[in-house]
Amino acid sequence: MSEKLEKSLQENYQFGKSNPIFLSHRHDDKENIKKAVGFLAQFGQRTYIDWLDHDMPEITSSKTAEKLKEKINKSKKFVLLATPNSIKSIWIPWELGIADGSKGLQKIAILPLIHSNFKWDEREYYGLYSYIEQVEDGRWGVFQNGQSNGTELGEWFES
């Protein structure tokens, strides 16, 4: 990863100063992660990225899972970065399950960075969660699957 990317992401990750958004993601999506962090920052949100957390174990273990669970529980919202790569992740479904159990549906949203024709055939349960989408007038909102009325994204972050 480039130093510029890591510095940019690190500036947006300060878990100790506030309870940021937990961004569930596939590590292979580094450029998309950067875009998501920048997007969330436009709404005044700091984002937790696990591989920037110096308290995380160097080698993945049950301690990793324990720390992730703690961060998910302490975060104010949980956003799943959905990309074609994310379907390959073994951690994302686990993280989503932890968030579902501790936060409930109202504090979870999926941020899809995919082509509109991509299908989540192996992740049918994504349909339970709200999506972050842009509406025709350019504003961003959080919408329940299949609903046309939603909550403005800034409001959702504050709720």
pLDDT reading at 154 higher than 50: yes
Residue 112 CA: distances (Å) to CA of 40, 43, 62, 66? 13, 17, 29, 27
pLDDT in tens, 82-136: 988 888 899 999 999 999 999 999 999 999 987 555 556 667 888 899 999 998 8
User: What structural domains and CATH numbers belong to the chain?
Assistant: 3-9+19-158 (3.40.50.10140)
Which of the two residues, 10 and 149, has the higher pLDDT score? 149
Span 17-50, pLDDT tens digits: 567 899 999 999 999 999 999 999 999 999 999 9
Q: Which residue has the higher pLDDT, 5 or 20?
A: 20
What pLDDT does 12 receive? 58
